[in-house]
Structures are given as C-alpha cells and as structure tokens.
Structure 1
Amino acid sequence: MSASCVGLNDLPDEILMIILKKLNNIEVFYSLQGVNQRLDRIIRDSIFTSCLTFIQRSLHDFIDVLSCDTILGRFCLQILPEIHDKIARLDLESSSMKHVLSAAAYPNLYVLGLYNINEESIQCLFVGKIFLF
C-alpha cells in the first residue's frame, strides 16, 4: 500500500465543517479568513458567525482572547466588517469592548455579554441609547 498525503483542501466541505466546529470560532476566523475562497465561504456559515466569544474563563476571571493588538486590529479592520450582519451574539471583555463594538454595526445582535466591566464604563457605553429588554 502506498502512502498518500491528504491536505486540508482535499477534504469535503462536510468533513471540514466537523473539524472546524471543534475549534474556537475566533481562532478559525483569524487563521483561515482570506486563505482561499472555499475556506472563506465555509467559515462564513452561521455556525461560525452567529456567536463570537472573545473571552476565555480562567479560574477567577475572564481573559480577553484578543489581548494582542495585532489580532484585535485585524478583527476590527478586516473580519468583523465582513461578517457584522451575521453576528447574533457577542461575548466581550472590557479591554476590547470599545474596539469591537465600534468596528461595525451589528443589526442582528440579540445578545451582548460584557465581562470584567465596571459601572462607569457601562454608563458611558449606554448613555442615550434605547434598548428593549
């Protein structure tokens, strides 16, 4: 039996979806967005775009997964403007909250989770806004 080398692009879309669903959506976007048209189409599926969690839970706190300015910048300048209308839920940590929320309009956003945020930041963010609860 001869050895064969199968690459990521050789896999059917269904298998790629199964693999990618096991990964963090943020990492999937950051790693695969812009690689090729096929991967762009796959990662723009609602499975990956509807809920973006920019935090990880540590033992006593929530950690921002966009703590690196390069990653945050790419998300805010390239990725979020392209998928903004598909996002239904965002989970954010206070340090990246302002950048992510101002990167695009989120017309289908129904859930906004804010972590490690103080009362003063909440007041500045929501003053003059009308929300339905």
Structure 2
Amino acid sequence: MEGSLLTLIDSPDEALLLILKKLDNIEVLYLFIDLNKSFNKLVHDSIFTNHLTMIRCSSNGSFDRLDGHIHDRFCLQILPSIHHNIKWLDVACSSMEDVLLCTSYPNLSGLDLHHIERDIALRIFTDEWFFDVFSFNH
C-alpha cells in the first residue's frame, strides 16, 4: 500500500486533479490539506473550496452536521486557511454559529441553512452577531 501512495503523490497535477474531483470536497480538504506541498496547492484550488457542503446526508434522508472531529478540524484549521475562496456554504443549523464565527468569509455570496426551526431563524436573523459576520450595514 505504501508504494501505491508514493506513486499517487508523484503523479502529475493534472492526473491528481482528475482523481480528486471524483471525491467529495469536504473529504478532499480533510484528507489532503497539509499532506505535502503539492497536495496543499491542489486542494486550495477554488474547485475544492468555493462551494462547501458542511453536512452529511444520513441513511434516513435527513441532513446532519459533520462528525465532531471533522467539524472541529474544519473550524480550527481548514476554514480559516481557505476562507477567502469560499463563495457558498451549506450548513446544518446546529453547527452554523461555529462555522460562521471561526473566520471571515469575504467572498461568501450564498448560505444554505438546513434543519432550521422558526424560533432559531428569528433569533439568527435578529441577533447582532449575524449582521457582524456578514458586515451588513444596519
């Protein structure tokens, strides 16, 4: 197995991009960011960073937040390193504050909130922090 990983790492960037495009963006970022210089350059590309779906579809068809360890690494390390590339985020309501407050998103133009209840929506869109995150004039 080790030999096949070395072969993959030594592949041309074009071949690696073709392989990585077949994977989920979240998995690509989680597995390959900071692996080595070549992979780090590839996974910081806008192909993998401009639209992130920070939720998982469960077997019963509902959407859930990412697993704890993955979620934490994204909030602490990955999102701050790619924040300027992110144009769209799909987020579970239960992790929205963590994801939105861990860094700024200067190019964010779209946000999908999943599993949001009416009372939470009212709190979110009337709380000061939401407007500070998006730098709206209010």
TM-score of the two chains, using structure 1 as the length reference: 0.86
What are the superposed Cα offsets for residues 33-91 of structure 1, whole Å, 9 maximum, x if unpaired?
11111111000101000000012334442122x132x2111111110001101100000
What is the rounded CA distance, in whole Å, between the counterparts of 1:60 and 1:42 in structure 2? 32
Tell me the equivalent position of 1:54: 54
Give the alignment's Cα RMSD to 1 decimal.
1.8
Tell me the equivalent position of 1:32: 32
Tell me the equivalent position of 2:18: 18
What is the rounded CA distance, in whole Å, between the counterparts of 1:123 and 1:85 in structure 2? 28
Tell me the equivalent position of 1:63: 64
Gaps of 5+ in 1: none
Tell me the equivalent position of 1:75: 74
Q: Relative to structure 1, is the Cα distance of residues 126 and 35 closer, same or farther in structure 2, using a 3 angstrom cutoff? A: same
Amino acid at match of 2:52: L
What are the superposed Cα offsets for residues 2-59 of structure 1, whole Å, 9 maximum, x if unpaired?
xx95621121100100110110111111111111111110001010000000123344
Tell me the equivalent position of 2:113: 114
The offset of 1:121, in angstroms, is 1.8
Whether the 8 Å contact between 1:46 and 1:86 is mirrored in structure 2 is yes
Percent identical across equivalent pairs?
44
What is the rounded CA distance, in whole Å, between the counterparts of 1:112 and 1:122 in structure 2? 13
What is the rounded CA distance, in whole Å, between the counterparts of 1:45 and 1:54 in structure 2? 18
What is the rounded CA distance, in whole Å, between the counterparts of 2:41 and 2:119 in structure 1? 40
What is the rounded CA distance, in whole Å, between the counterparts of 2:56 and 2:72 in structure 1? 19
Q: Please, which moves more after superposition, 118-127 or 37-46?
A: 118-127
The offset of 1:120, in angstroms, is 1.9
Tell me the equivalent position of 1:86: 85
Whether the 8 Å contact between 1:67 and 1:96 is mirrored in structure 2 is no
TM-score of the two chains, using structure 2 as the length reference: 0.83
What is the rounded CA distance, in whole Å, between the counterparts of 1:119 and 1:32 in structure 2? 38
